[in-house]
Amino acid sequence: MTESFPDKHIQITIKVFGGLRESFREGTQTHQMESRSALAVLLQELEIDFPVLAAKLVTGLDAGYLNVLINGRNIHFLQGHDTVLQDGDTVAFLPPVGGG
């Protein structure tokens, strides 16, 4: 009898917009991480591979002007940094848009 074990990893899509794109290859890429990981874990992992981007994300999040969407929903309406990511999720980082 073969026992089935749940996959221990998930794959998510990360999208970065605006001025943040220059710090993140082409603005979109996939990322593999352990299942049941929260958004906070993703931010820590980005710090390893993309330290310049991670610094900008932390600054924007701390100052309250960076929007983070998971599957189109703002994390303010989810569980914030504690929102658990699921396989196939899309995480988008959107800086404010200015105009004149």
Q: For residue 17, what are the contacts with CB-CB under 8 A and spacing of at least 6?
A: 27, 92, 93, 94, 95
Burial grade of 68 (CB within 10 A; 0-12, 13-18, 19 or more): buried
The reported pTM is 0.87
Q: What is the CATH number of domain 9-94?
A: 3.10.20.30
Domain extent listing, the chain: 9-94
Do the Cβ atoms of 16 and 23 come closer than 8 Å?
A: yes
pLDDT tens readout for residues 15-73:
999 888 888 877 899 999 999 999 999 999 999 999 999 999 999 999 989 999 999 99
